[in-house]
Amino acid sequence: MYTLEQYRESADSIRERLDGRQPEILMILGTGLGGLGDKIKKPVYIPYGDIPNFKTATAIGHIGRFVAGELGGRQVLVMQGRLHVYEGYTMADVAYPIRVAKLLGIDKLVITNNAGGINKSFCPGNLMIITDYIKFAPGSPLAGPNIEEFGGRFPDMSRVFDKEYGDIFRAIANERGETVQEGVYFYMAGPQFETPAEIRAIRALGGDAVGMSTVPEAIAANHCGMRILGLTLLTCMAAGVAGTPMDTDEVIRIAEEGAGRFEAMMTEFVRRI
Ligand code: HPA
């Protein structure tokens, strides 16, 4: 749990380092997808460790810094690396940067991740636009005293992911002949992958893909009124779907292979919103 003063202290420290830039869009880059941060023009780098009250990223493939600058003709703030509950962080820690971004004047969010495919019509390497999520894991980034400056106590969650943003992204993918799926992201805290029985249960409950991130940030962002595009790169089929064991090296390899296509489409997306 954090106080409004702590969020403000972090935002003030970032603002001082932005040299007058006013970012409009926050982009959170998932495992293996951090390369987009290196495409930012006139970048300013702000390591999380330099920001008061910030926790640092410890997961593989997560650098742990903000990159502020220009992408697709827009001023963006990119998170090269995010936090996860499986690193031992709370949901409030994981969602902390969202509220700080809101205090910096940002109300548009692109969240990316990689996940395992559950829907049998998906293939590894496909992109999925997240239409909704399911979180049956305990905890919420909003637990504790509500901070009214961010939003009300009981936020509506009936439209977390922005439909128009999904339509824009789908149009970009179609123009490029890229396969793009859409579906429900099922959140599991990890770090262990799921069992085949869990995957059968998740499919029965309506999950199309399963992963260990994104949902804490999406809850906090929806609470404070941000418009969200959620994108999943399906790096493998979930346990028991393809009949092969889960292989982390393969997950990271497919994420890196998909990264180039992903980066080009995301650049075009920020240009169009
Ligand atoms: N399950 C959970 N998280 C993941 C997976 C998966 O199958 N693949 C990539 N991230």
The pLDDT profile of the chain, 273 residues, written as one tens digit per residue, is 899 999 999 999 999 999 889 999 999 988 777 788 889 999 999 999 999 999 887 766 667 899 999 999 999 999 998 899 999 999 999 999 999 999 999 999 999 998 999 998 998 888 999 999 999 999 999 999 999 999 999 999 999 999 999 999 999 999 999 889 999 999 999 899 999 999 999 999 999 999 999 999 999 999 999 999 999 998 888 777 877 776 777 777 777 777 788 888 999 999 999
Q: What is the pLDDT of residue 61?
A: 61
Nearest-angstrom CA–CA distance, 32 and 47: 18
> Which atom, in ligand 1's list, is nearest to the CA of 238?
7
Q: Are 238 and 114 in contact (CB under 8 A)?
A: no
Q: What is the pLDDT of residue 261?
A: 81
Nearest-angstrom CA–CA distance, 11 and 236: 37
Q: What is the pLDDT of residue 240?
A: 78
Q: Whose CA is nearest to atom 3 of ligand 1?
A: 211
SS3 content of the chain, % helix, strand, coil (to 5): 35, 25, 40
Mutate to test the pocket of ligand 1, among 33, 215, 235, 249 (most ligand atoms within 8 A of CB): 235
Q: What is the pLDDT of residue 257?
A: 75
Nearest-angstrom CA–CA distance, 228 and 109: 5
Q: What is the pLDDT of residue 8?
A: 97
Structure tokens at 77: 């703030």
Q: What is the whole-number distance in angstroms between the Cα of residue 89 and the centre of ligand 1?
A: 19
Residues in contact with ligand 1 (CB, 6 Å cut-off):
114-116, 188, 193-194, 210-212, 235-236, 238, 251
> Which atom, in ligand 1's list, is nearest to the CA of 194?
1
Dmax over Cα atoms in the chain, in whole Å? 53
Query: Is the pTM for the entire model greater than 0.85?
Result: yes
Q: What is the pLDDT of residue 59?
A: 64
Q: What is the pLDDT of residue 237?
A: 83
Nearest-angstrom CA–CA distance, 213 and 190: 9
Task: Please tell me what DSSP assigns to residue 124.
Answer: T
Nearest-angstrom CA–CA distance, 238 and 53: 35
Q: What is the pLDDT of residue 211?
A: 96
Q: Phi then psi for 219, rounded to 5 degrees?
A: -65, -50
Q: What is the whole-number distance in angstroms between the Cα of residue 251 and the centre of ligand 1?
A: 8
CA-based nearest residue to 56, from 93, 28, 16, 14: 93
